[in-house]
Amino acid sequence: MPAIPEFVLRKLYVPDSLTSTDGGFTFELNNTFAPVTLTGLSLTLDEILCNTGLISISIPGHAEIAVGGISDDHPFNLAVNVVVKVHVACQAPRIQMVIRVDTREAGTLQFAIAPKHTESAVLDNKQKKASLFTRLNRKVKYVNHVFHVQQDAQHPQYHFAPPANWMNDPNGLIFWKGNVHLFYQYNPFEAEWGNIHWGHAVSKDMLHWKHLPIALWPDAKGADAGGCYSGCMVNNNGTPTIIYTGVFPEMQCLATSPADDLLYWQKRPQPVIDAPPSDLQLEGFRDPCVWQGTGGEWSMVLGTGVTGVGGAVLLYRSKDLIDWQYMGILYNGNMHQREGLSTGTMWECPSFFPLGDKWVLIISVCGLQGPMYTIYYTGQYLVDRFIPDGPPRLLDNGEGGCLYAPQTFVDRKSRRVLIGWLREARSVADQVNAGWSGAMSLPRLLFLSKNGELCSTPMIETESLRDQHEMLLKPNQLSEVVRGASMEIVIRIPPDTEKWSGVHLALPGGQDEVEGILIGYDCINSAVVVDCRHAGGVISAMPIKSSGFQDQLLHVFVDGSVIEVFVEDQLPISARFYVSKPQAMRVRLVGDASVELWKLKL
């Protein structure tokens, strides 16, 4: 369909319909063109993108509908000659309002309206009186919301989580001027994906985190008007520099900070890469990972998918982080492969780095259909191409891709550290009701095994959190001292066991007895198992090779609604669980295991 001129689109706006209300304003649109299917609506008010959570629409005879709930999966059908009232819970524009409507039939329709002087003046007088109260009221509501979230027993204590609302990918991990900085994909308005900003936190030990002000937010006139998506941070000759993906469309953007506390960021007005290679038909173009070579030249890898081929990683080079040259496809998968682990149609959040005598490529697999999970390759990096030394392997063995979009960095002790997003296993409705979503994994130290496989272990610094201690040595013995949802468990399983052995995290007594989690070793199937099916989660199983001569050690961390299980010379299992009273959980010994417990305290 040909583009509709903006002067024609402006006829959708009902003149003089802009009206002040308590805490906001309304206006009307009259669809005089044709029936249309809305998949999204957004407003930019005086060059500031309005949070969609503050916008709702209504038509005569129907209740208001939140704009944030309109999507491709949940469209809004609008008949012809129907007046739509738009309700906005923020200050009305004084200079310009840009209305953007996404439709199935005509694509994106966008036009600008300049409120009449009389409309603006009347609104100004009313809103000047209300603005101070409104801002104060919003701050009070946010503080109350954060307080409510922090009181939630399912909210992690020593795993990083947002103060409230939505969080996904870790971004910009870096050790800078004595501190570790963690940025992350953040929706500051609600516990659902959307309105993506860069949240920010800082820590000395990666266990005690301090929340800082938002680092990046969408610029209505910039390349990131649709959101500040994932990216990384580098040290450019003493200048902290963020390279990230702005949308829509997907472009690579850059920002620098003039201060060592990294609280203020200045965006480059133009993207550093404004489009993908023209000779490729791609499914995506995002999530830069940047590093500096020994000669001072910068390299960047980007996640993508080649249509009809599969997931891929693109390679770029630059001398100054501004002018980038496309070097080709670093490596790509095969979506048609039927044997082994599927590598899907699109790769997100690539992380590419040297470790020991190999290079490691970590990618998160996604697509329009199929599961999401994270895989890795080890191999050699030769002449702008990655040559893997074997098939892909899972980076984490949690069922359903619990750990996703991880990022790595080198800490002050020169250790390669990985932190990933631990996705929720509960419904979107439950996340919204809880008021928060998402947690980060514990920092994991990466190393290569004797066989050249990637392994990880928790930092020894976690031992500083240990408080009360207890041992369980008899079958069915129940913990008395250590209880609750913040604990460390070391399970020791003898090599000659013929029983399912491990622990049962239970809520003893009453109707809550049916809730619980099983963590242990299944000797029949030679697998480590984390079973959260009776706690709102799923079951995960990781086959392992037992030596037959040594005890098998399982190192478990439990925190609110998070479980991480580390196995010697293996990769971990991550899981989410949701019991009614996590603060009442106790540990019961199962089978031939012996158990050492600590209550953890920040």
DSSP 336: T
The DSSP string of 77-98 is EE-TTEEEEEEE-SPPPSS-EE
Reported as a single tens digit per residue, the pLDDT across 55-96 is: 999 988 888 888 888 888 888 888 877 889 999 988 888 888
Distances (CA, A) of 106 to 31, 37, 39, 181, 533: 13, 9, 11, 43, 45
The torsion angle over the Cα atoms of residues 518, 520, 521 and 525, rounded to 10 degrees, is 20
Query: What predicted TM-score, i.e. pTM, was given to this entire model?
Result: 0.79
Phi, psi for 550 (deg, rounded to 5): -115, 155
Q: Which residues contact 447 (CB under 8 A, 6 or more apart)?
A: 355, 356, 416, 454, 455, 456, 457
For residue 477, count other CB atoms closer than 10 A to its CB: 16
Q: Which residues carry out catalysis?
A: 169
Give the model's pLDDT for residue 512: 53
CA angle 242/246/248 to nearest 5° reads 180
Q: What tokens does 238 get?
A: 């003493």
Give the model's pLDDT for residue 2: 41
Give the model's pLDDT for residue 118: 45
Question: Taking the domains of the chain in order of start, what are their residue ranges?
Answer: 6-121, 152-458, 460-600
Tell me which residues of the chain have a pLDDT lower than 70.
1-5, 7, 116-135, 368-369, 510-513, 547
Give the pairing of strands 539-543 and 209-216.
unpaired
Q: What tokens does 481 get?
A: 């001292």
Give which of 195, 169, 191 is closest to 430, Cα–Cα. 191
Distances (CA, A) of 181 to 206, 349, 419: 9, 18, 12
Residue with tokens 């490596």: 331
Give the model's pLDDT for residue 119: 47
Helix (H) or strand (E) holding 147: helix 117-150
Q: What tokens does 199 get?
A: 């949240």
SS (H, E, C) 154-200: CCCCCCCCCCCEEEEEEEEEEEECCEEEEEEEEECCCCCCCCCEEEE
The CATH architecture one would assign to domain 460-600 is: Sandwich (2.60)
CA angle 597/571/427 to nearest 5° reads 80
Q: What tokens does 131 get?
A: 């603005």
- Round to whole Å and give the CA distance between 121 and 15: 16
Give the model's pLDDT for residue 1: 35
| Length of the chain, in residues | 602
Q: What tokens does 149 get?
A: 């979230």
Q: What's CA 314's distance to the chain center, in Å?
A: 22
Rounded to a whole number of angstroms, the CA Rg of the chain reads: 26
- Round to whole Å and give the CA distance between 416 and 427: 34
133 by DSSP, 3-state: which? Answer: helix
Give the model's pLDDT for residue 323: 97
Q: What tokens does 113 get?
A: 């309206």
Q: What tokens does 533 get?
A: 């099916």
Q: Which residues contact 185 (CB under 8 A, 6 or more apart)?
A: 167, 168, 169, 171, 196, 197, 198, 199, 229, 230
Distances (CA, A) of 146 to 189, 274, 436: 12, 38, 9
Reported as a single tens digit per residue, the pLDDT across 235-289 is: 999 999 999 999 988 999 999 999 899 999 999 999 999 999 999 999 899 999 9
- Round to whole Å and give the CA distance between 281 and 275: 12
- Is residue 443 within 8 A of residue 163, CB to CB? The reply is no
Q: 6-121 sits in which CATH class?
A: mainly beta
The DSSP string of 343-409 is --SEEEEEEEEEETTEEEEEEEEE-SSS--EEEEEEEEEETTEEEESS--EES---TTT-EEEEEEE
464 by DSSP, 3-state: which? Answer: helix
Give which of 348, 341, 277 is closest to 312, Cα–Cα. 348
Q: Which residues contact 154 (CB under 8 A, 6 or more apart)?
A: 434, 485, 560, 561, 578, 582
Q: 152-458 sits in which CATH class?
A: mainly beta
422 by DSSP, 3-state: which? Answer: strand
Q: What's CA 593's distance to the chain center, in Å?
A: 36
The 10 Å CB-count burial string (b at 16+, else e) for 549-582 is: eeebebbbbbbbbbbbbbbeebbbbbbbbbbeeb
- Is residue 444 within 8 A of residue 458, CB to CB? The reply is yes
